[in-house]
Amino acid sequence: MRDKLNDPARLELIREAITNIETFLVGTTTCEAFTANKILCHAIVYNLQCIGESVYRLSAEFTSSHPQMDWDAIKGLRHVLVHDYYSVNMETVWMILEKDLPRLKEYLEAVDITADHSAV
């Protein structure tokens, strides 16, 4: 049976996964160090999958009322990580971590989900 999480709960799961990624990456400052650590790569990919799955399950009302984020790209990344895992390029993942993840975090920090009726 599918879970009944609402948008605020899903957004919190996304925030937790971002925090996990940031924690796991402490001390890893280069793409080379990242790609050399298979355990780290797998932990990061898992949390990116969690982010993508949570985004996938956000309500259409929420995503359409927050067009500032490219929700489809996040869902698309999840599909690649889950279904085309054999073709995942860790250098691309590193670029996502450096460029896109901070933007997502910043956006989620700015969204007041408790006051946003579309998030309930």
Decide: pTM greater than 0.85. Answer: yes
DSSP E strands, 60-115: none
The token duo for 73 is: 């790209």
Angle, alpha carbons 85-86-92 (nearest 5°): 70
Rounded Cα–Cα distance for residues 71 and 88 (Å): 20
Q: Which pLDDT belongs to residue 85?
A: 78
In a domain, 2, yes or no: no
In a domain, 120, yes or no: no
Structural domains in the chain (count): 1
In this structure, how many other beta carbons lie within 10 angstroms of the beta carbon of residue 8?
15
Can you say whether residue 27 is alpha, beta or left, with left for phi > 0 and alpha for psi between -120 and 50 degrees? left
In a domain, 17, yes or no: yes
| Structural domain boundaries enclosing 56 | 7-110
In a domain, 70, yes or no: yes
Comparing CA positions, the residue from 113, 107, 95 lying closest to residue 30 is: 95
In a domain, 85, yes or no: yes
Chunked in runs of 10, what are the mean pLDDT values of the chain (120 residues)?
A: 79 97 98 97 97 96 94 93 86 96 96 54
Q: Which pLDDT belongs to residue 67?
A: 95
Q: Which pLDDT belongs to residue 75?
A: 95
Please give the radius of gyration of the chain, using alpha carbons only, rounded to the nearest integer.
15
Q: Which pLDDT belongs to residue 111?
A: 85
